[in-house]
Amino acid sequence: MKNFIFHNPTRIVFGEGTISKIGKNAKAFGGKALMVYGRSSIKRSGLYSRVIDLLREEAIEIVEFAGVKSNPSLSHLREGIELAKRQRIDFLLAVGGGSVIDETKAIAAGAMTNGDVWDFFTGKATIQAALPVLTILTLPASGSEMNGSMVITNEDTRQKYGFSSPYLYPRISVLDPAVTCTIPLTYTAYGAVDAMSHLLEGYFTHKDTWAPIQDRYVEGLVKTIMESTERIFADPEDYQGRATMMWAATLAWNGLALAGVGKAGLPNHMLEHPLSGIYDIPHGAGLSVVIPGWMKYVSGKDCRKIARFAENVLGLKRDSKKSTAEKGITALKRWFEKIGSPTSFSAANIPASDLDEIVENAAALAELWGLNDYPKEVIAEIYKMCL
């Protein structure tokens, strides 16, 4: 067990009907809010009008900023920063999934600086302050509702970069599972893959020889996410399945899974970001493409942890470690396909002819993140396993 400091300041308000509490909770942060959301889904569901009414009941002035994409863009982010500055916003309220929350965090940071917000992503600047962020989560996946991380795509350079800061933790996040019952099954699947990836990154890359707390925490949550996904596919309005998925996805990326394991990497996110950054595919879809290929590459060097995952999570009978690991990779890939998430470049409509450009993009991110075990030739080798 390595030394660590765990601090998570986000207050979670969880359960059916909890959206009704947003007005009174928000009032403590000021009288003028920037409400950030996507396109039309919250209006179709009726959530938009509910939130507007609840804020107005508390005499909170609302400035709206709509149009966040599923892979939020730098140009739209810059528009939001200018709006927040011009309107002298007190706090921001994100109503949506991880993309909306990520862009809201970036606006909160950008509104408190005179520099270019992209400098935060490239490591040229660090956040010194941010406006308060509150969230109403509508799509369990990223865990952004309870962490200090976010990701933005620069359309000009086609780079999808992220960063973390303690200033970016939401102050309050409202998680009402009932609002997720209208999520299409395709995005339920992508959300499940995303949440699983957050757990598996540290699980597969940490170097502790004995980490029973963290490893069993990950194994239990991954099994729970898979079981919840299957319940939701059987009945999209299954409240218990939706509620369990929502809380599991939040727990997947709030710092607990990595506490005490020391250094861990994010190779699958490094490999995925070019796919969604260049081709604008859902992040979870890109992850289901790269994860089996990455696991195959790693298994060729050390298959022990993948064999353990196959036994403890996928329920495969113990064979030789090599055989168990191979069967585990195949079983996970088949599960991704079962829920409709792509597992190859071709299935995600990513041209194999673009491989060189994708490798260059990923290599730049690997260098920025200090993933020194992933030079261009290794990245290319892994991608070829994903074609």
**pLDDT confidence bin for 143, thresholds 50/70/90:** very high
**What pLDDT, on a 0 to 100 scale, did the predictor assign at position 40?**
87
Are both 251 and 334 inside the same structural domain? yes
Are both 155 and 221 inside the same structural domain? no
Are both 248 and 337 inside the same structural domain? yes
Among 155, 178, 201, identify where a domain stops: 178
Are both 171 and 190 inside the same structural domain? no
Are both 242 and 337 inside the same structural domain? yes
**What pLDDT, on a 0 to 100 scale, did the predictor assign at position 318?**
87
Q: Which amino acid is at 356?
A: D
Mean of pLDDT over the chain: 97
Among 178, 194, 229, identify where a domain stops: 178
Any domain includes 1: no
Any domain includes 111: yes
Which range marks the domain in which residue 201 is found?
Answer: 183-384
**What pLDDT, on a 0 to 100 scale, did the predictor assign at position 184?**
96
Query: What average pLDDT score do residues 324-341 get?
Result: 98
The per-residue pLDDT for range 275-320, each reduced to its tens digit, is 999 999 999 999 999 999 999 999 999 999 999 999 999 999 988 9
Are both 77 and 110 inside the same structural domain? yes
The per-residue pLDDT for range 179-237, each reduced to its tens digit, is 999 999 999 999 999 999 999 999 999 999 999 999 999 999 999 999 999 999 999 99
Any domain includes 5: no
Are both 325 and 212 inside the same structural domain? yes
Question: Long-range pairs for 203-209 at CB < 8 Å and ≥24 separation?
Answer: 203/257, 203/305, 203/309, 204/295, 204/298, 204/305, 204/306, 204/309, 205/264, 205/265, 205/266, 205/267, 206/258, 206/261, 206/262, 206/263, 206/264, 207/262, 207/263, 208/1, 208/2, 208/261, 208/262
Are both 129 and 192 inside the same structural domain? no
Query: What average pLDDT score do residues 57-84 get?
Result: 97
Give the residue among 199, 126, 124, 125 at the shortest CA–CA distance from 165.
126
Are both 87 and 35 inside the same structural domain? yes
**pLDDT confidence bin for 66, thresholds 50/70/90:** very high
Any domain includes 171: yes
Are both 171 and 197 inside the same structural domain? no
Any domain includes 3: no
Among 114, 144, 178, identify where a domain stops: 178
Any domain includes 6: no
Are both 227 and 357 inside the same structural domain? yes
Q: What is the CA radius of gyration of the chain?
A: 20
Number of domains in the chain: 2
CATH of the domain at 91: 3.40.50.1970
Any domain includes 275: yes
Are both 200 and 155 inside the same structural domain? no
CATH of the domain at 257: 1.20.1090.10
